[in-house]
Amino acid sequence: MDTADQDAPLNCERYLHWANVFLVVYSIDNKKSFEGCHQYLDIISLHSKGVQHNYPVLLLGNKLDMEQYRQVTKSDGQALAAKYGCLLYEVSACLDFESVQHVFHEAVREMRREMEKSLTVRPLFITEERPCLHMVTPTPVASKHGLASCTFNTLSTVNYKEIPSVAQAKLVTVKSSRAQSKRKAPTLTLLKGFKIF
Ligand SMILES: Nc1nc2c(ncn2[C@@H]2O[C@H](COP(=O)(O)OP(=O)(O)OP(=O)(O)O)[C@@H](O)[C@H]2O)c(=O)[nH]1
């Protein structure tokens, strides 16, 4: 979405809640446009804090072909990017399509990296390897990314662990409290690493 705001951010909600990655653009030949970026960067970082999620931001100095009229040095751009923890690129939209394309590809890569990072907070699974001493209150394990959701209301001596990666998957046997009390009662066999829905 192109915000198309002329001087300052307007109705930010319409893109803040919608976007996964932000490109903040100024013209290297226009100091005012560079100064206007501060407001956008502030708003995006406030938004990220509010939702406790890091949205990648790329700061983009456009009109590199206007070098002779440059009002914003590359180090100005780098300092601003460093302040807000974002990446800086300088491009010429009218002369160099590939550099613009590269920035968009980078934006998508950054977004994927962020999503993968947030996936490292993995959902829980159950194992009987180290039984707990007390009953655990059944809790729905709801993953933000829909990876796992289950309740453990028949399992009293189970242990809760993070799901290992599929490469580490192996068979484990989980017994219900009823099964443990009866020697030949059926047990439930799970493949470690598989999600339980
Ligand atoms: N020299 C030069 N001019 C450019 C470049 N990119 C855009 N322009 C010119 O800058 C002006 C503004 O471009 P827009 O794409 O409309 O910029 P914008 O900020 O999205 O403008 P709005 O959509 O009206 O908010 C136009 O006259 C473009 O031709 C560039 O890389 N070099």
- Tell me the pLDDT of the chain (197 aa) as tens digits: 667 676 677 777 777 888 889 999 999 999 999 999 999 999 998 888 877 778 899 999 999 999 999 999 999 999 999 999 999 999 999 999 999 999 999 999 999 988 887 776 555 555 555 554 544 444 444 444 444 433 344 444 445 555 555 544 455 455 545 545 555 555 455 555 545 44
> Is the minimum distance from the CB of 94 to ligand 1 under 6 angstroms?
yes
> Is the minimum distance from the CB of 141 to ligand 1 under 6 angstroms?
no
Q: Which among 173, 177, 178 has a CA at the least distance from the CA of 188? A: 173
Q: Which among 194, 147, 189, 149 has a CA at the least distance from the CA of 169? A: 194
- Are 20 and 55 a contacting pair, CB within 8 Å? yes
What is the ipTM, given to two decimal places? Answer: 0.92
- Which amino acid is present at 41? L
The C-alpha atoms of residue 63 and residue 95 are separated, in whole angstroms, by 9
* 39 CB burial (10 A radius; 0-12, 13-18, 19+): middle
Q: Which residue bears the tokens 């590939």?
A: 98
pTM of the entire structure? 0.64
Closest-CA residue, ligand 1 atom 20, reads: 4
> Is the minimum distance from the CB of 2 to ligand 1 under 6 angstroms?
yes
**Helix, strand, or coil here: 71?**
coil
**Helix, strand, or coil here: 101?**
helix
Question: What's the CA angle centered on 137, arms 132 and 141, to 5 degrees?
Answer: 100
* Mutate which of 2, 33, 100 for ligand 1 pocket (most atoms within 8 A of beta carbon): 2
> Is the minimum distance from the CB of 1 to ligand 1 under 6 angstroms?
no
> Which residues touch 23 (CB under 8 Å, ≥6 apart)?
57, 58, 60, 103, 107
Q: Write out the two tokens for 74.
A: 């590359």
- Which amino acid is present at 107? A
What residue spans define the domains of the chain? Answer: 12-120
> Is the minimum distance from the CB of 66 to ligand 1 under 6 angstroms?
yes
Q: At what angle do helices 74-83 and 31-51 cross, to 10 degrees?
A: 20
* Mutate which of 10, 68, 92 for ligand 1 pocket (most atoms within 8 A of beta carbon): 92
CA of 171 to the centre of ligand 1 (A): 60
pLDDT of residue 13: 77
> Is the minimum distance from the CB of 70 to ligand 1 under 6 angstroms?
no
Question: What's the CA angle centered on 117, arms 113 and 122, to 5 degrees?
Answer: 145
Return the DSSP state at 146: S
> Is the minimum distance from the CB of 93 to ligand 1 under 6 angstroms?
yes
Q: Write out the two tokens for 117.
A: 């990072």
> Is the minimum distance from the CB of 100 to ligand 1 under 6 angstroms?
no
> Is the minimum distance from the CB of 62 to ligand 1 under 6 angstroms?
yes
Judge: domain 12-120, CATH 3.40.50.300: yes
Q: Write out the two tokens for 140.
A: 């729905």
Q: Which among 82, 47, 75, 48 has a CA at the least distance from the CA of 61? A: 75
pLDDT of residue 30: 96
